[in-house]
Amino acid sequence: MEPQFTPLIDSLPSTVPFVGPEALERKRNRPFRARLGANENGFGPAPSVIAAMQENAAEAWKYADPENFDLKRALAVHLGVAPGNVVVGEGVDMLLGLAVRQYVREGTPVVTSLGAYPTFNFHVAGFGGRLATVPYRDDREDLDGLLAAVKREQAPLVYFSNPDNPMGTWWEAAEIERFINALPKETMLVLDEAYGETAPATALPPVDISRPNVLRMRTFSKAYGLAGMRCGYAIGAEKQIGAFDKIRNHFGMNKLTQIAALAALKDQPYLKNVIARIIAGRERIAQIAAQNGLQAIASATNFVTIDCGRDGPYALAVLNALIDRDVFVRKPMAPVLDRCIRVSVGLDEELDYFAQQLPEALAAVK
């Protein structure tokens, strides 16, 4: 006899949605020379952020402020909203789980795109929801298809990201607002804007906290260079944001993360510099692709998705050939999208190495 799992837990696989570069390095018994697969910001955080963490390292013995008061207040000023319209959490991943928990029970239909960010799907499965997926159209999430699925399924929750992961594509703000206006009032939209800082300004609708059925999520992991610190935030109407306090881990944020995020938000000149470097890196990756007869898909993120020109198995072979050559990249796995690999912007020396190894990888798989 032993303790029995619930039927839901018993039915789920024990898995990690992502294979990290560290796991591959352990398997290969050597490090990567170009870490270009996890959409991290290899330029790192601002020197002012590093200094703030160093100055406060001795304070790590303290629990963090469970209200995230200073950071919430700073974010509210930055966004032009009240602190009650912002909730801070351990990355967008954790906030997605909390959002799903609020609106999904066993059997609840949830709408998302086929091939979109898999961690959201992981949370839906973990709470027993039923995914209704909509294929991408022309390498973008299909807004009309998502809307039709919401109405067909009477789904209380729909998720999409703008700009998109894994394709890097985006919709203009007017199209996002059209989607929101057409959405049933009883359906919550989780709009993941993790790559918002690297997108054209025209892709982000104005922040509107009057709508109770929209949660917008952003992060310090990408443009701000703090992926390892785990800090994200959601923006929305006060009642819906307040509901996070019912279930969130109030001591989940660590003190140094709060300090780092606050310092990062203050250093907007550094952020602008990083965004310029990311844009230059996207152009460089597109050039490398073109030099090898491949097509880069226009991106508004800190990565570029490259169409390998054939099918999923071929793109997977290219990916594995790059990994064999110490270049860590990832790829979409859904049908049609799986013809591509995805390459994050990195340091100049990493992109130089990628440029050297891509033709060899392509020759190897041919």
Q: Tens digit of pLDDT for each residue in 19-62? A: 889 999 999 999 999 999 999 999 999 999 999 999 999 999 99
Asked, for residue 322, whether it belongs to a domain, the answer is yes
CA-to-CA distance for 103 and 216, rounded, in angstroms?
15
In this structure, are 154 and 243 located in the same domain?
A: yes
pTM over 0.85: yes
What pLDDT, on a 0 to 100 scale, did the predictor assign at position 16?
A: 76
Specify the 3-state DSSP secondary structure of 159.
Answer: strand
Written as six digits, the tokens of 204 are: 């982000």
Q: What pLDDT is recorded for position 1?
A: 87
Number of domains in the chain: 2
Of 226, 251, 267, the one marking the end of a domain is 267
| 74 and 95 share one domain | yes
Domain containing 11 — which CATH number?
A: 3.90.1150.10
CB 21 within 8 A of CB 336: no
What is the spatial order of strands in the sheet that 86-89 belongs to? 86-89, 232-235, 214-219, 188-192, 157-161, 109-113, 130-134
pLDDT of residue 15: 80
At residue 357's C-alpha, the angle toward residues 276 and 329, to 5°, is: 60
Contact 235, 210 (CB under 8 A): no
Domain residues for the domain of 65 are 47-267
Distance CA(253)–CA(90), nearest Å, equals 6
Pair 282, 302 in one domain = yes
62 in a structural domain? yes
Please check whether residue 211 lies inside any domain of the structure: yes
| The last residue of a domain, from among 267, 299, 320 | 267
116 and 210 share one domain: yes
Together in a domain, 219 and 330? no
**Within 10 Å of residue 59's Cβ, how many Cβ atoms?**
11
Mark whether 61 and 39 lie in a shared domain. no
- Judge if 259 and 360 occupy the same domain: no
Residues 54 and 32 in one domain: no
- Residue that finishes a domain, picked among 267, 296, 323: 267
Asked if residue 301 belongs to a domain, the reply is: yes
Do 286 and 299 lie in a common domain?
Answer: yes
Q: What is the DSSP letter of 32?
A: -
Which residues in the chain land under pLDDT 70?
none
pLDDT of residue 34: 97
Asked if residue 153 is part of any domain, the answer here is yes
Radius of gyration of the chain (CA): 21
Q: Please choose, from the candidates 159, 163, 137, the residue with its C-alpha nearest in 3D space to the C-alpha of residue 302.
A: 163
Domain presence at residue 2: no
Same domain? For 279 and 223 the reply is no
Answer whether 291's CB lies under 8 Å from 153's CB. Answer: no
Is 1 contained in some domain?
A: no
The per-residue pLDDT for 366 is: 86
The count of residues in the chain is 366
- Asked if residue 279 belongs to a domain, the reply is yes
pLDDT reported for residue 252: 93
Please check whether residues 196 and 284 belong to one and the same domain: no
Q: Do 211 and 283 belong to one domain?
A: no
Looking at residue 68, which CATH number applies to its domain? Answer: 3.40.640.10
pLDDT of 66: 96
